[in-house]
Amino acid sequence: GSSELAGVAALLKAGKARNVVVMVGAGISTSAGIPDFRSPKTGLYANLSRLKLPYAEAVFDIGYFRRRPEAFYTLADELYPGKFRPTVFHSFLALLERKGVLRRVFTQNIDTLEHLAGVPEDKIVWAHGSFAANHCIDCGTEMATATLKAIMDAGKIPHCARCKGLVKPDIVFFGENLPARFFELAPVDTRAADLVIVAGTSLQVHPFADLPNQVSCPRVLFNLERVGDFGRRKTDVTVLADCDTAVRELATLCGWTAELEAMWAKTAMEETKGEAEGEAEG
């Protein structure tokens, strides 16, 4: 609860937490309008019936993608970065960076909202990949994002110019390895962490789900339900609330409210500015 959160705020304010590692999932982006995967009614998997999949996760299965890439591309069109504004939680990550205490954000999300909110790329590990680059699944040739986007916008499936194989964004599908960067940084960052914030994740997908177990520092959970082994350790702090509410409470305790809200407001101005530019081009 909030008395425990006060202890976390004290660490941040006293400069005792200087290597904050944040581990996040879909729950930090739901308030931006991006569906999470597993919620029974509103989740992505629950609303994929129109794609006539043999099972929900097939949409991210590499074998299924080879047979029927349309399913993934229907979804990719809806999730593609550029349509969504970062949340208050995303702005809090950027605020930690501004305060000089953010060591790394490990994210399961492919929406790149962490970066859009102002977290530099070197501070982010996209554990499940992202839309930032695209490669042929057969020969590995890269396709420029602008090219891929143009093909998608025309309602077609991108094929490799070199071997005619299917091209897909570098999102980690089931049965694919996580990016090398994840395995390089996870052991180093979990060792160096002096405060860990886990937010908006069901901690069901491995190896990401093992990350919180590898740290020895205080851990904070912002989530709608208790996950992993949170609560087992004396130093654990569990806040069962939506991520934006929880992070606003922490910011208040740190005396950072005005700064946080100003940073978040800025993301709205950038969003409307983008729309205005879009209209000007149109």
CATH number reported for the structural domain that contains residue 71 in this entry: 3.30.1600.10
Please report, for residues 89, 90, 113, 256, the alpha-carbon distance to residue 30 in angstroms, rounded to integers and kept in the order given.
11, 12, 11, 23
Angle made by CA atoms 249, 270, 275, in degrees to the nearest 5: 130
Catalytic, 128? Answer yes
pLDDT per residue as tens digits for the range 160-183 = 999 999 999 999 998 888 999 999
pLDDT of 82: 79
Question: What's the mean per-residue pLDDT of the chain?
Answer: 91
The mean pLDDT value for 92-114 works out to 96
Residues 167 and 281 in one domain: no
Reported pTM: 0.88
Residues 185 and 75 in one domain: no
Residues 165 and 268 in one domain: no
Residues 95 and 165 in one domain: no
Domain count, the chain: 2
CB 260 within 8 A of CB 88: yes
pLDDT of 273: 55
What angle in degrees, to the nearest 10, is found between the helix axes of 257-281 and 88-98? Answer: 110
Sign of torsion, CA 25 30 84 78? positive
Residues 95 and 230 in one domain: yes
Residues 151 and 113 in one domain: no
Residues 251 and 121 in one domain: yes
- In the structure, what pLDDT confidence band is assigned to residue 281 with cuts at 50, 70 and 90? very low
In a 10 Å sphere around its CB, with 0-12 CB exposed, 13-18 middle and 19+ buried, how is residue 15 labelled? exposed
* pLDDT value at 1 more than 70: no
Query: Helix, strand, or coil here: 237?
Result: strand
pLDDT of 43: 72
pLDDT of 52: 83
pLDDT of 176: 85
Q: Choosing from 115, 128, 159, 206, which is the catalytic residue?
A: 128
Region of poorest pLDDT, from 38-52, 130-144, 187-201: 38-52
Q: What residues make up the domain containing 224?
A: 1-32+86-128+179-282
The mean pLDDT value for 107-128 works out to 95
- Angstrom distance (rounded) from CA 209 to CA 200: 12
Residues 76 and 137 in one domain: yes
> Which of 266, 273, 256, 204 lies closest to 96, judged by CA?
256
Residues 193 and 140 in one domain: no
* pLDDT value at 159 more than 80: yes
